[in-house]
Amino acid sequence: MSLTDTSQQENCSAMSDVLNRIGDKWSVMVVGMLGRNGTLRFNELKRMINGVSQRMLTLTLRNLERDGLVTRTIYPEVPPRVEYSLTALGKTLQGPIAALWDWSAENHHAIIEARAVYDSRENAVAADEGRKIAYARG
């Protein structure tokens, strides 16, 4: 199925469904880390992904597993060892996610600068509006 015709509701729904899963930052980070490092245990992933809580990582892994992007392997040891890796479908995301990471690294500074310019302009407009309101009140 081609999703090029976005005027079709089912195409928009399919795109929205997929992007809701793989478009959030934690899913991108998990797929990226598993793609770069191969099979990892939960705590290894948690250490590699700065800022993710245990609960959020658990939910993200569960959702990625549900969607067929990540596989969870439990080894019958004491204590049990659990490892996560990308499925064949998950591996197809490695290229797009690597490209996104590379683009982010290359353009982060330009984005920070653009935000500063925008914020400066918006603050000037807001200050000017405040002066107009104060002047009108007299």
Q: What is the pLDDT of residues 68-117, one digit of tens each?
A: 999 999 999 998 899 999 999 999 999 999 998 899 999 999 999 999 99
- The number of angstroms, rounded, from the C-alpha of 103 to the middle of its chain's C-alpha atoms is 14
* pLDDT value, residue 131: 64
Confidence category of residue 124, pLDDT binned at 50, 70, 90: confident
pTM, whole model, 2 decimals? 0.75
Domain covering 6-136 assigned CATH 3.30.70.60 in the classification: no
Q: Sketch the domain layout of the chain as residue ranges.
A: 6-136
Q: Are strands 40-41 and 70-75 parallel, antiparallel or unpaired?
A: unpaired
Q: Could you tell me where the beta strands, DSSP code E, fall in 27-112?
A: 40-41, 70-75, 81-86
- If we measure between CA atoms, which residue out of 85, 31, 81 comes closest to residue 60? 31
Predicted pLDDT at 65: 97
